[in-house]
């Protein structure tokens, strides 16, 4: 068994790990390095995204190293652990290099990947295989069957998996970003039973990677964040003030809580932006978006600006959900703050940051200092 740590081991992003047993190789994840993509957006370069461009700015894994190792023509599968861009975002740009490799993912992750491909106008010829969490799969390889197992876990998006390759050289276990949540808002707790069974049987190699792994504390359940969110909503007293909630577009469970508490305000709930549109529609497509009929989604800039003009004069009628809690350039909240929309904040308006951190750049968003806001863990 040989392992090549292609990307994601020295930075947060462009995750990719290659594992070789005999003459068979599997790739685990193929993600973007988002800071490089954000910097590209800030420079307002009009060039379309391409493999060449993304390699130049070092936004995708340097999988060319697999050519040097002689592994590229042996890749049988590209397995995606979950639907975050730092794990799946590079697939459209590198999959063509591995024409004999199936792309394997859970229903939600695969729906998100297909949305990226459609939006970017990219076609790939690789076979796409959807697998359910807690399932197994035997692929044909040059050295016999490649016996794979997909173990359900929890994270800040849906249908996340650990991947186990039960090979002739022993079991290889890959656990990309995860959070052990015993009380998830959507879905089941992690499959601890199967993890214990694998531990008793013996694992040859474990690659475990998750943010904050170096912090000696237990990550709180999503239900704790849900309670904090409910508390933040309780501070909204002015029925004529604007109300904006900003969070991760991929966090469907958090969006579910926002909608449930938002309904109590008797406001129309409007989601703004392409990123939210992508993730919410993917969740709906696989039957995991119980709040879909309770909201309206606007994705195009002209639609959004028309709505924000209306919001400016009917502030108490709507609850706005958007991205921008990390001051992402070009996000809806970023544009609202910087006067790039027909909406202007007033001192009585409410902005709830349903995320671990609020705006990263306090100078850029100094105008927020005088407004009421709640930051949630």
Place of tokens 């035997």: 138
- Kindly state the tokens that stand for 265: 């305000």
DSSP-derived 3-state class of residue 41: helix
Which of 249, 245, 278, 276 lies closest to 262, judged by CA?
A: 245
Q: Are 7 and 61 in contact (CB under 8 A)?
A: yes
For residue 46, what pLDDT is reported? 67
DSSP string, 235-290: T---TTS-EEEE--TT-HHHHHHHHHHHHTTT-EEEEESHHHHHHHHHHHHTT--T
Taking the alpha carbons at both ends of the chain, their separation in whole angstroms is 40
For residue 357, what pLDDT is reported? 53
For 6, list phi and psi in degrees, rounded to 5: -70, -45
Q: Residues near 374 by Cβ (< 8 Å), separated by ≥ 6?
A: 231, 232, 235, 352, 353
Q: Residues near 280 by Cβ (< 8 Å), separated by ≥ 6?
A: 249, 252, 255, 271, 289, 292, 295, 297
Q: Residues near 2 by Cβ (< 8 Å), separated by ≥ 6?
A: 19, 20, 21
Q: Which residues pair with 3 in a beta bridge?
A: 19
Q: Are 121 and 216 in contact (CB under 8 A)?
A: no
Domains present along the chain, CATH in parentheses: 2-208 (3.60.15.10), 222-375 (3.40.50.10710)
Local confidence pLDDT in tens for the 377 residues of the chain: 999 999 999 888 999 999 999 999 999 999 999 989 888 877 766 678 999 999 999 999 999 999 999 999 999 999 999 999 999 999 999 999 999 999 999 999 999 999 999 999 999 999 999 999 999 999 999 979 999 999 999 999 999 999 999 999 999 999 989 999 999 999 999 999 999 999 999 999 999 988 777 788 888 899 999 999 999 998 888 889 999 999 999 999 999 999 999 999 999 999 999 999 999 999 999 999 999 999 999 999 999 999 999 999 999 999 999 999 887 878 899 999 999 999 999 999 999 998 765 443 333 333 332 233 333 33
For residue 364, what pLDDT is reported? 32
Q: Are 276 and 297 in contact (CB under 8 A)?
A: yes
Q: Are 7 and 14 in contact (CB under 8 A)?
A: yes
CA dist 129 and 340 (Å) reads 42
Q: Within 10 Å of residue 26's Cβ, how many Cβ atoms?
A: 27
- Kindly state the tokens that stand for 204: 């040859």
Name the strand (E) or helix (H) holding 356. Answer: none
């Amino acid at each position: 068994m040989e392992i090549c740590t292609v990307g994601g081991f020295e930075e947060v992003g462009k995750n990719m790990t290659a594992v070789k047993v005999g003459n068979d190789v599997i790739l685990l994840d193929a993600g973007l390095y988002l800071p490089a993509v954000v910097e590209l957006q800030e420079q307002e370069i009009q060039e379309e995204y391409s493999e060449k461009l993304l390699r130049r700015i070092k936004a995708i894994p340097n999988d060319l190293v697999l050519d040097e190792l002689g592994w590229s023509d042996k890749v049988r599968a590209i397995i995606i652990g979950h639907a975050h861009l730092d794990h799946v975002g590079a697939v459209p740009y590198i999959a063509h290099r591995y024409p004999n490799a199936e792309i394997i993912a859970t229903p939600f992750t695969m729906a998100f990947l297909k949305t990226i491909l459609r939006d970017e106008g990219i076609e790939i010829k690789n076979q796409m295989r959807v697998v359910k969490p807690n399932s197994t799969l035997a692929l044909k390889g040059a050295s016999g069957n490649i016996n794979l197992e997909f173990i359900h876990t929890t994270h800040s998006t849906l249908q996340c998996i650990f991947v186990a390759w039960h090979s002739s050289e022993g079991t290889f276990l890959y656990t990309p970003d995860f959070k052990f949540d015993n009380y998830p808002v959507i879905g089941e707790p992690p499959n601890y039973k199967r993890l214990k069974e694998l531990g008793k049987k013996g694992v040859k190699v474990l690659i475990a990677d998750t943010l904050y792994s170096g912090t000696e504390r237990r990550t709180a359940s999503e239900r704790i964040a849900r309670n904090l969110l409910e508390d933040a909503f309780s501070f909204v007293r002015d029925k004529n003030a604007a109300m904006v909630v900003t969070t991760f577009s991929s966090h469907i469970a958090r969006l579910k809580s926002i909608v449930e508490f938002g309904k109590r305000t008797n406001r129309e709930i409007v989601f703004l932006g392409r990123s939210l549109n992508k993730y919410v529609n993917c969740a709906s497509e696989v039957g995991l978006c119980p709040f879909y009929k309770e909201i309206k989604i606007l994705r195009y800039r002209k639609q959004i600006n028309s709505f924000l003009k209306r919001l400016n004069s009917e502030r108490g009628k709507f609850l706005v959900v958007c991205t921008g809690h990390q001051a992402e350039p070009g996000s809806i909240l970023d544009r609202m703050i910087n006067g790039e929309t027909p909406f202007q904040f007033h001192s009585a308006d409410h902005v709830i940051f349903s995320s671990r951190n609020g705006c990263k750049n306090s100078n850029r968003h100094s105008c927020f200092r005088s407004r009421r806001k709640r930051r949630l863990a």
